[in-house]
C-alpha cells in the first residue's frame, strides 16, 4: 500500500519504464553559433509545427536583421513558407521529391522551388550553412551533456533555457576577445526590453 502511494507522488516524467523527453527547437546565428531563439516543447511536437515557428521567427527578426532561413526538409511545407513570406525572409530548404511547384497561395514557394531546381549548386551552398546548427548543438551537449537533471516539464524548460543562456555567454565572451569588441551592456538591455514589450 505504501508503494502505490509513493508511485502516485512521482512526476509524470518518470512514471513507468518509458523514458520521457523534451524537444528544444533552436535557431542559431551562422556566424557565431549563438542561439537567437529557443522553444522547449514535449517530445511529440513536430519541428514544423507552425505555432512554434511563428513564435520563434518573430523574436529574432525584431532583434536581428534576419534575411535568410536555412533548415532541413522537415520545414519544407507551405505553412512555413507563408510565415517566412510575411517576414520577408528567404528560405533555403531542400524540397522533398513528392513536392510540386504549385504555390497554392504562397508565391515564395514557387520562387524557391524554381531556384532549387534551376540553380541547385548555388542553393546547396547556402543550404550547407545548416551544419552550423549541428555544430552549435554539439557545443551545447559537449558543455552540459545531453541528459537533463530535472524531472518535471516546467523545470526541464528552465534547465534547457539556462544551458542555452550559458552557451551564449561563452560565445559572447569569445567574440569580445577575438574581435576586440567593446560591449555596452546597458544599451543592449534597453534594446532587448523595448523589443519584449
What's the pTM? 0.75
Is residue 40 one of the residues assigned to a domain?
Answer: yes
**Model confidence pLDDT, tens digit, residues 53-82:** 777 776 665 667 788 889 888 888 888 899
- Predicted pLDDT of residue 46: 66
Using the structure block, give the residue that is written with the C-alpha cell 511563428: 54
Between the CA of residue 144 and those of 14, 40, 121, 156, 166, what are the distances in Å?
Answer: 21, 16, 37, 14, 10
Q: Residue 7: its pLDDT value, please? A: 39
Model pLDDT, residue 48: 58
Output the pLDDT for position 47.
57
Report yes or no on 69 lying in a domain.
yes
Residue 157's pLDDT is what? 94
Q: 137 lies in which domain range?
A: 12-196
Q: At what angle do helices 78-86 and 50-63 cross, to 10 degrees?
A: 20
The three cell numbers locating residue 184: 555596452
Q: What angle do CA 137, 39, 177 make, to 5 degrees?
A: 50
Report the C-alpha gap between 120 and 100 in whole angstroms: 16
Predicted confidence at residue 5, as pLDDT, reads 40
- Is there a contact between 31 and 21 (Cβ–Cβ < 8 Å)? no
Look at residues 101, 99, 102, 106 and name the one whose alpha carbon lies nearest to residue 80.
106
In a domain, 58, yes or no: yes
Task: Give the chain's residues under pLDDT 50.
Answer: 1-12
Q: For position 102, what pLDDT does the model report?
A: 86
Task: State residue 6's pLDDT score.
Answer: 40
In a domain, 91, yes or no: yes
CA distance 126 to 80: 18
Residue 5: inside a domain: no
Residue written as grid cell 545531453: 146
**Residue 7 belongs to some domain of the structure:** no
The predicted structure's pLDDT at residue 19: 67
Q: How far is Cα 95 from Cα 87, in angstroms, rounded to an integer?
A: 20
Residue 151 neighbours by CB under 8 Å, 6+ apart: 11, 13, 14
For residue 10, the model assigns a pLDDT of 39
Q: What is the DSSP letter of 31?
A: T
Q: Is residue 162 part of a domain?
A: yes
Q: Are 71 and 130 in contact (CB under 8 A)?
A: yes
How many domains does the chain fold into? 1
24, 160 contact by CB (below 8 A): yes
Question: Does residue 117 form part of some domain?
Answer: yes
Q: Identify the bridge partners of residue 58 per DSSP, sorted by sequence position.
A: none
Amino acid at each position: 500500500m505504501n508503494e502505490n502511494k509513493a508511485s502516485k507522488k512521482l512526476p509524470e516524467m518518470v512514471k513507468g519504464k518509458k523514458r520521457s523527453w523534451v524537444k528544444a527547437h533552436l535557431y542559431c546565428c551562422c556566424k557565431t553559433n549563438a542561439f537567437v531563439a529557443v522553444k522547449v516543447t514535449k517530445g511529440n511536437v513536430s519541428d514544423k509545427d507552425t505555432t512554434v515557428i511563428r513564435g520563434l521567427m518573430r523574436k529574432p527578426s525584431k532583434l536581428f536583421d534576419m534575411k535568410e532561413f536555412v533548415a532541413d526538409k522537415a520545414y519544407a511545407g507551405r505553412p512555413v513558407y507563408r510565415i517566412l513570406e510575411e517576414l520577408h525572409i528567404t528560405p533555403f530548404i531542400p524540397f522533398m521529391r513528392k513536392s510540386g511547384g504549385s504555390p497554392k497561395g504562397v508565391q515564395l514557394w514557387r520562387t524557391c522551388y524554381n531556384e532549387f531546381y534551376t540553380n541547385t549548386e548555388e542553393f546547396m551552398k547556402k543550404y550547407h550553412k545548416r551544419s552550423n546548427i549541428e555544430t552549435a548543438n554539439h557545443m551545447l551537449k559537449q558543455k552540459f551533456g545531453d541528459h537533463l537533471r530535472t524531472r518535471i516539464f516546467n523545470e526541464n524548460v528552465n534547465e534547457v533555457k539556462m544551458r542555452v543562456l550559458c552557451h551564449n555567454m561563452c560565445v559572447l565572451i569569445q567574440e569580445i576577445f577575438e574581435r576586440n569588441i567593446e560591449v555596452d551592456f546597458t544599451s543592449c538591455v534597453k534594446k532587448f526590453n523595448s523589443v519584449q514589450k
